[in-house]
């Protein structure tokens, strides 16, 4: 069964550094998402992306965050200047169409020191 | 978004049926009811969704009350692999764009061997 893959599985970075989290969504999917989950807390929506532009974003997704689909397969989340509070699991998801099942990757654990 | 109420945790025995309840009394007429689960150290996984009628798939069944103010996810024969946090998510129709699902705290399902 096709799956969403995320790399790296764990990223450690220093405060103030830029990080790029990478995702390869399922190939025929059109909608792409990033979520995050701080340890012990809820899964939180960050942003959705369709037709090469952001469709919706949450309050968490401020100017420090950006997303890109640089080619036909990758979907990336960039954090420009990481803060300690950005430490979390970041999940990428994709769906074939609006309101159909979201398929999630297994996440990238980001640790900011 | 519609407010949901789920038990914090439930316990069941292996190979027995499990009924996971969810109250969503403020659900609107166009909301689908989605269920996702999150196994330990993994991303959320789609389970099932429905609008008005009861739904079945290979993973589970979804029973939706006639007034749609509540639903029940039914695992017909629980296995140890079903131990996870289960999320009930009414999907608000935003009128356009790809809206992100809002995850609550969910129900932590414990399966005893």
For the stretch A12-21, pLDDT in tens is 999 999 999 9
Q: How many CB atoms lie within 10 A of CB B56?
A: 13
pLDDT at position B94 over 70: no
DSSP states of A64-99 as a string?
TEEEE--SSS-EEEEESS--GGG-EEEEEEEESSTT
pLDDT at position B96 over 50: no
Question: Rounded to whole angstroms, how far apart are CA atoms A111 and A109?
Answer: 6
Dump pLDDT digits (tens) for A81-106: 999 999 999 999 999 887 678 999 99
- Residue A36 sits at the chain B interface (C-beta within 8 Å): no
- Residue A104 sits at the chain B interface (C-beta within 8 Å): yes
Q: Which of A67, A37, A73, A29 is nearest to A49 (CA)?
A: A67
Mean pLDDT, residues B22-38 taken together: 89
Q: Give bridge partners of residue B10 from the DSSP assignment.
A: B109
Q: How close A15 comes to chain B (CA, Å)?
A: 25
Sheet with B32-38, strands from edge to edge, namely B9-13, B107-112, B84-91, B32-38, B44-50
Q: Could you tell me the two tokens for B79? A: 């296995």
pLDDT at position B17 over 70: yes
Main-chain phi, psi angles of B76, to 5 degrees: -70, -30
Respond yes or no on whether the N-terminal peptide bond of residue A8 is cis (omega within 30° of 0): yes
- Across all residues in chain B, what is the average pLDDT? 89
**Alpha helical stretches, state H, A40-95:** none
Dump pLDDT digits (tens) for A36-93: 999 999 999 999 999 999 988 999 999 999 999 988 789 999 999 999 999 999 999 9
pLDDT at position B93 over 80: no
Dump pLDDT digits (tens) for B5-15: 999 999 999 99
- Residue A1 sits at the chain B interface (C-beta within 8 Å): no
Dump pLDDT digits (tens) for B48-61: 988 888 999 999 99
């Amino acid at each position: 069964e096709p799956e969403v893959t995320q790399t790296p599985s764990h990223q450690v970075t220093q405060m103030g550094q830029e990080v790029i989290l990478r995702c390869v969504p399922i190939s025929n999917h059109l909608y792409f998402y990033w979520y995050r989950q701080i340890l012990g807390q809820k899964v939180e929506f960050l942003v959705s992306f369709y037709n090469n532009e952001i469709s919706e974003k949450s309050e968490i997704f401020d100017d420090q965050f950006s997303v890109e689909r640089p080619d036909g397969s990758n979907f990336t989340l960039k954090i420009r200047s990481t803060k300690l509070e950005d430490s979390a699991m970041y999940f990428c998801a994709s769906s074939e169409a609006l309101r159909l099942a979201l398929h999630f990757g297994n996440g990238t654990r980001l640790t900011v020191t | 978004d519609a407010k949901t109420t789920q038990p914090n945790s439930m316990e069941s025995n292996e190979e027995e049926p499990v009924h996971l309840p969810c109250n969503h009394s403020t659900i609107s007429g166009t909301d689908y009811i989605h269920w996702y689960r999150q196994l330990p150290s993994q991303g959320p996984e789609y389970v099932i969704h429905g609008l008005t009628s009861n739904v079945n798939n290979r993973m589970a069944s979804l029973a939706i009350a006639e007034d749609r103010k509540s639903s029940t996810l039914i695992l017909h024969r629980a296995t140890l692999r079903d131990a996870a946090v289960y999320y009930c998510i009414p999907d608000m129709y935003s009128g356009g764009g790809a809206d992100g699902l809002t995850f609550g705290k969910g129900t932590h399902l414990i399966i005893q061997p």
